[in-house]
Every structure is written in structure tokens, then in C-alpha cells.
Structure 1
């Protein structure tokens, strides 16, 4: 195979960048680029005994630019290693970017399906987008196929937004959903089918906005979960509404019933998947254990990104398992394997009442924290956890018992503007919090994943410790435990 000069050049650029990276906010157990910019997770797949995650990547700059596909792989979803950059733009059908897409194992051939981005006028942001394929037999070196683009144009009633193909197999037929926008700027997801991944037939619209759900539905994913069909989308252009839709863009889902023969999707309301500041463009895979695993981009467009000063930007969430719970709500919980990160364990409280606070003096940056509060006869107004710096800095997680609302306040740790996120959380007499803390991120799973909140944080102070608290009354803390976690990149 001829060495791709574009890929070689990108690899050299990344190696050069890594020599000058400031490590202060580099994450300990999350997927991030070796340097420079990354965004959406792409091509989540299990292939030949390894999990592969690709991601949107600009290897030449810490800002977004012509998209490549970065690549990591793992045997256990916990310990990741970098693989060479998989895709570089510059061919006639992907001149200005290899945008987001997915991956499938096609009888031993690992196939990437991605969007080619092509500017007509970059200053005016006019462009056209195509769907393309690249293949590999070793899961490392990929070759774009001669039939590209496999879908050259969107349907006639489309605007130029036509991207993020997600492909799966059902009854020996390949299907593809693509994010799309109509000429009158209505977000939607459209559906194609194919026998061979090369020739695609347009089936029609799978789902469309009713006028309240934005102008473009990015990064669609369509799958079965608990005998229901879930449509996962990342809409752009939804107006904020109370505690909902407070990020620039959101990721959320519909739950419904789907008929393949008629292409009819009867769905419920759109629900946000994560309620923190930094969760977008999520994608899923089904692994060999039958689990539906999701990973999201752990950042948000147009937000503060202090790591740009350090020579890198962007990260992905820890892998999470999706399940369908009560009232057809999707729950997210860390995959079971994540416990392999645990090192030293500290039990701070067990079945102990507190009426003010309990401080665990622990200054590690990489922690898993578990706290369970008994709310059955609790007189306190609110309970929660604080991650405290030695002086002013803190992240505060508060559960307001009467209102049944959970809030995450990062305003004193890198999010001065718009630092608080809040969501409803029903309790059945208890509150459980499971928190994953890394050098510049926090991921919160409440009441067994009924609600999650993911945010980037940017501490400048040393850490003082972890504080478990109750406001205006007493609470019984059933458990307050934490583990130091290992740094997989060291």
C-alpha cells in the first residue's frame, strides 16, 4: 500500500505538538488527543477483540480546523492506546474535512463511513457534504474506496447540512441514518439502505422537528434498547426552557416503536441525555456482551477552553452503559470495567448522621467518590458534596430535597459565567451520588444513572478535600467512600 503523505504529515505535526504540552489539565483516564484539537467521538466499534474509538481531530492546531480521524483502541474500555491517524482530508469528495461518522465490521473488513466536507465559499460558510467509505483489514491502516462518494447528494428538499452517517445491520440489510436539515431550516434524520455498503437507496425521513427542536439534527444514532427504539440526536438551535436546553447545543433522545417495513417511527418527547455543561455528539456501539455503550464529547461549542493555551483541546467521556428504566427513561452508568481504575480506598462515613459537614482531607486529582444519603426522615433542606480547593475554589453538588432538584455548580472552578446546571431528580427515600473526578472534568451519576451531569472544570488551587454536607437539618449518611484512580496515560 502506498504511504499516504497526508496522514504522514499529520502524524509528524502531532508528534511535534506533544513536546510542548502543558500537563496541568491533562486527563488521567479519559480519551483525549495526543495534542491539538479533538471533538466528536466517531466509529465506535469492537473489532478483532479490541474496542476502537475514533474522534474528530485537527492535528495542526489547538482550534477546530480541517477534520481528520484520530484513533485510540483498547482491550477493556479502560486502558487506551493511540493508533495512527486513520483519515485525512484532501481528496475530491472530502477536500476540506473528514467529518463525523461510524464504523462497522463487514465480514472481517473494518469499514468507516464518514462525511466529506467541501467548501464552496469558506468565508460565507457555504459548502456541500457527501458520504464516503474507507476500509481496513488490520483495524489500523485505512484505504478510501474507489466508489466514493457512496452518497453524493442529499434529497432534493434538503439544505446543505447532510452529515454524520450512523450505519447498522438489520435482517442482512445495511441501514444508515444521516443528520439533515430541510430548506426551511427544520432539523431531521433521514434513512438509507444498502446491500453492500457501496450503493445506497434513499428510504425517507425517519423523524423530523415539530418546529421546536432546532434547525439541524447532528450525530444521529438509532438502536433498540429494552424492546424500544431509541433515536439519539444532537440538535442545534433549541431555545433554552427553564432548567432544560441551557447549553449552546444539546444531546438527547426519543423513545418509540419502529416499523422497518413502513419506515414509521412513533415516538415520545425529546429528553436530554446529560444535564451538565459539557456533553455533545454522543455515539453508541453494541459490544459482544450485548451492552449498549455510549461515549460523548466532553466539551461544548463556544465555551471557555483554557487548555488551548496548553497545546491541546477536547476530550471524551468515560464509556457508559445505557439501559431503559422506569417510564421509558434512559439511564447511563459507568461501564463495570471502570472499577479497574481503583487504587487506594478510603471509607469516610458509614451510617452516620451529620448536621453540618464532614471533610475528607484528600488532595488527589483522580478520584471516584460514592455517597449515599438516607432521605426517609431527613429534616435538612438540602444535602450534597463539595470538592474544595485550599482557598476560594470549589465545585458544589446540591440536592434540594423538597424541590427534588439536583444542581452542579462549577462557577468557582473555571466556569465563572453560566456555571450552574440543574435538573429534576425524583427520590424514593435515598440519594446516591457516584462521581468521577479527573484533572479537568467531573462526571456525576445520580440515583443509579437516572440523571447524569458532565462538566469540564479548571482548578488553579491545590485541593483541600471532599466535603459531605447537610443544610438546615440532619441527614444520615449511609456511605461516603472514595478511591484514588490510576493514570492510564503515565
Structure 2
């Protein structure tokens, strides 16, 4: 451990002890979502299941709730319900990552954990920081226990990427097929076209570019946080494109996250990308990453936030010294040619105090502070509206086949997001102190968002016309998080 690492560790620990209590006193502090101990959280990183434990690393800026120098925070769990805060795993302490340990992934092999990430360096001078002035280095850190990372190895610099690329190459996702290791990284070329670089290696250390994945027509200037995997017989290319213009109710966020089905061979030019589909229609969702657990499930976790939104909407938690969170873990499946997201079944262990009502047109009840709702629709001949805590509105216009999530002032600038859905069969939503995740038709469509209702507001009101069904409500217990702190 070098002197800078020791200093950063001491400073981070001191800051967490100093400001951690303030975060806990925030009435909007989340109860069953992972969030930072202090400061800023963004992309989930290095997701993996290693020696029977789930490992969730994440972008962590403890010194400023509005961002700043990024490290990797670290949570572990055996069940995704009871968590341990393992402290900061990776610091920006080397010349090749001095301005941030940016996003990356984990590879598990031979009892070791290999973390690949982007080391960010922003050079001093008169640069545009697109073509010149920024170094995005590919770095490897290895651990034999999943908690201590004693050595970082610089694998690639900008000089190792294709000459037609800008300085923006980042977010390595690594996996193994047969005897070859593959890596995808997000890229922006000098024509401002977003794309994915594909690398191959025989030893996990020496990498060579073997292909480029891009859409037939330009779709944004930068593709971030790529993920490429096989699921239920299909090849899925997941990414977060930047620079997409809104089209009606589509692409309403400043940056998007979604996926393509890839046909053909990703290793050669013999491939085609299908239609880009958004993963989440809510206000706060970006940079998702997936992994396979030891049960064989493909699980996704996303950042419940977005970059560069300060002029659009805000989070009052900044006043308490923290910002952003991670989504619930979601199991992925493919059904009828669509990627389906369902909260992992482990989340149901947080349920308590079940209540159930037969619904006929209207219903008005009081809810706990945090809860899950499952609404099964047996008959719907007209529209309906579900109002949560007098500030969140979930509406379905049957004639238009349009579902909408909307907020009043409790959205802090968030207004409404919509999606077309022909038939609404069920609605499942998870309401934490300051977040909501909505799953329509067993995860066919999803909305994730932050919102900030009045602390003592508990009302739930359902208004329908020719509506029949069943509404089940559970109070949600808090996850447990043991704060081990830095070692």
C-alpha cells in the first residue's frame, strides 16, 4: 500500500465517521436499497458471485455528494438481503487512475477475482478532452479473497486503441468462452459515432482489438457501459448510449439504457443488431450491469440515477451529504422476443404484515412507510389511476394503451414518463422512503425513479372504471447492513 493510498483511506474513513450519522438522519435515507455511506454513488461495478457471496462494487465519491474523484465502494452478501459494507476496495492512487477508478467488471477464475476497470486521467492544459487531454487506461486488479487488492496492472492505454477513436474508451466487461477471454468497451470515434470495441486475449493480460460493434445508422455519439451475454438462446448487447434525441414518449431521459439482440458472430463483421429497446422507462436508471450467480441466474443491477441532470431535476438528499442508490437486483429472462426483468425472489423475505383487498373500481387505504404492492387486473374496460402518497400518479389509458408514471412537486422536477402497453394484466411496485420501482406485466416494462413525498403521508388511492381485480400489500422491512469499514 503506497502513501497516497494510506492517506486516502484515512481521509475516507474519517469522513464516513464524521458525516455518516447525518446521512442516517435523513428522512429520505433508503431502507431496502443499497446507497452510499456518504457522498455520491453511481455505476454498479464488478458484480459477481464469488465463494458463495454476492459482491457489489460501485462508483463511490465520498468527498462530495455531487460527485468528484471516483473510487470503488464494496458491499457483500450471502442472500442479497443482509449486507456487509466492506469499505473502499479501490482508490485512485496510481498515475494511470489518479482522477478516478472508473467503471469495470469482474472475472472469477481459479479461485481468484480479477477486476478490470478504466483508470481516468485528465491532463492539465488547453484540451477539448474528447480527442486529446484525457487518458482512459484499462487496468487490472487481482484478489485472492475478494476483499484485498494489493496490486494494479496497467494493461492498455489510448495508444492501444484504434486510431479512429477519441480518448473516450471505457467500461471494460470481461468474460471467457472456451479457451479465449473477451472484453467489450464503450467507445466514441472521431466522427462522434457511438460503438463497442471487442477485444480478445489468451491470458487475461494481453489484449487485441478484434472487432467493432455499431448500429447501421448513427445512434448517439458515445456508447457507455457495454455488456454482451447469451440468455435463453439469444445474444444480448446491453449499453447506455449518449446523444439520443427524444422521439415522442421514447428516449425521454438525458441519456438512455437499453439493449439490442445481436444476430450472427460478435467476433467478426458477420453480425446484425436488431431494434434498440429501452430497459427502463423511469427518470432514474443508467449504467446497468449483469452477472451470473451460482444458481445460474442472469442478474441485473442498475444505477438509480443519471449523470448531468442538475438542470433538469434534483435530489434533496444532497443537503444531508449523500446522493443516488442502486436498483433492486433483477433476474433477466427472455419471453416472446423481449427482455423481462423481475426482482430476485430473495426480496420477498423482506415482506411482512400482508393485507389483501378485492378491488371493484375504487379503493382507498393507508400504507406503511415502505411497501410492496401487487395489483392483479382481472377486468378493465376503461382507465384507472393509482395515487401513491398524494404525489405519485400511475395511470393507464386503455383506449390509447398508454401507461404513465407522473409526479407533482415531490418529483423535484420529475414530471412524467410513459410507455405503450396493449393489455395491462398486473402491476407490481416497490416503494422505499424516496424511490419507486414499477414492474408491469411480470417485468415486461419497468420504471425506476426517485421521489420525495411528505414524511407522514401514507395514502394509497385506486380509481377505476369497470375495474376488477385483487390488490395485495406488504410492508417492507429494511435490509441489514453491517458496516465493517476499511481494514
- Give the alignment's TM-score, normalised by structure 1: 0.92
| CA shift digits 1:20-59 (9 cap, x unpaired) | 2232111101011111111000010010110001110111
Q: CA contact under 8 A between 2:304 and 2:450: conserved in structure 1?
A: yes
Is 1:320 the equivalent of 2:330?
yes
Deviation at 1:460, TM superposition (A): 2.6
**Distance in 2 separating the partners of 1:258 and 1:423:** 30
Q: How does 1:159-308 map to 2 (within 5 A)?
A: 159-208=166-215, 210-211=217-218, 213-259=219-265, 262=268, 264-301=270-307, 302=309, 303-308=313-318
Q: CA contact under 8 A between 2:211 and 2:266: conserved in structure 1?
A: no
The verdict on how the C-alpha distance between 1:403 and 1:249 changes in structure 2, with shifts beyond 3 A counting, is same
The number of residue pairs the alignment matches comes to 469
**Distance in 2 separating the partners of 1:209 and 1:338:** 40
The verdict on how the C-alpha distance between 1:33 and 1:182 changes in structure 2, with shifts beyond 3 A counting, is same
**Distance in 1 separating the partners of 2:72 and 2:185:** 18
Picking from 411, 430, 452, the partner of 1:414 is 411
Deviation at 1:13, TM superposition (A): 2.4
Q: CA contact under 8 A between 1:399 and 1:407: conserved in structure 2?
A: yes
Q: Which shows bigger deviation, 76-85 or 156-165? A: 76-85
Map of 1:401 onto structure 2: 398
Map of 1:374 onto structure 2: 378
Map of 1:485 onto structure 2: 476
Deviation at 1:151, TM superposition (A): 4.7
**Distance in 2 separating the partners of 1:56 and 1:24:** 24
Consecutive unaligned residues of structure 2, counting only runs of 5 or more, are 482-487
Deviation at 1:418, TM superposition (A): 4.5
**Distance in 1 separating the partners of 2:261 and 2:315:** 33
Q: CA contact under 8 A between 2:171 and 2:226: conserved in structure 1?
A: yes
Deviation at 1:195, TM superposition (A): 1.6
Consecutive unaligned residues of structure 1, counting only runs of 5 or more, are none
**Distance in 2 separating the partners of 1:221 and 1:78:** 25
Is 1:23 the equivalent of 2:14?
no
Q: How does 1:446-485 map to 2 (within 5 A)?
A: 446-470=440-464, 473-477=465-469, 479-485=470-476
Secondary structure in structure 1 of the residue aligned to 2:352:
strand
**Distance in 1 separating the partners of 2:100 and 2:169:** 13
Map of 2:484 onto structure 1: none
Secondary structure in structure 1 of the residue aligned to 2:346:
helix
| CA shift digits 1:121-170 (9 cap, x unpaired) | 3885441211001111111111233x413455321110111100000111
Is 1:129 the equivalent of 2:136?
yes
Secondary structure in structure 2 of the residue aligned to 1:93:
coil
| CA shift digits 1:73-101 (9 cap, x unpaired) | 11012222211201111311111111000
Q: CA contact under 8 A between 1:121 and 1:127: conserved in structure 2?
A: no
**Distance in 2 separating the partners of 1:359 and 1:49:** 44
**Distance in 2 separating the partners of 1:2 and 1:127:** 24
Deviation at 1:476, TM superposition (A): 1.0
Q: CA contact under 8 A between 1:52 and 1:74: conserved in structure 2?
A: yes
**Distance in 2 separating the partners of 1:122 and 1:42:** 31
- Give the alignment's TM-score, normalised by structure 2: 0.92
The verdict on how the C-alpha distance between 1:201 and 1:297 changes in structure 2, with shifts beyond 3 A counting, is same
Deviation at 1:288, TM superposition (A): 1.3
Secondary structure in structure 2 of the residue aligned to 1:143:
coil
Q: Which shows bigger deviation, 176-185 or 458-467? A: 458-467
Q: CA contact under 8 A between 2:210 and 2:268: conserved in structure 1?
A: no
Q: Which shows bigger deviation, 266-275 or 252-261? A: 252-261
Secondary structure in structure 2 of the residue aligned to 1:289:
coil
**Distance in 2 separating the partners of 1:420 and 1:260:** 37
Map of 1:61 onto structure 2: 64
Q: CA contact under 8 A between 1:206 and 1:264: conserved in structure 2?
A: no
Q: Which shows bigger deviation, 152-161 or 335-344? A: 152-161
Q: CA RMSD in A?
A: 1.8
Deviation at 1:425, TM superposition (A): 1.1
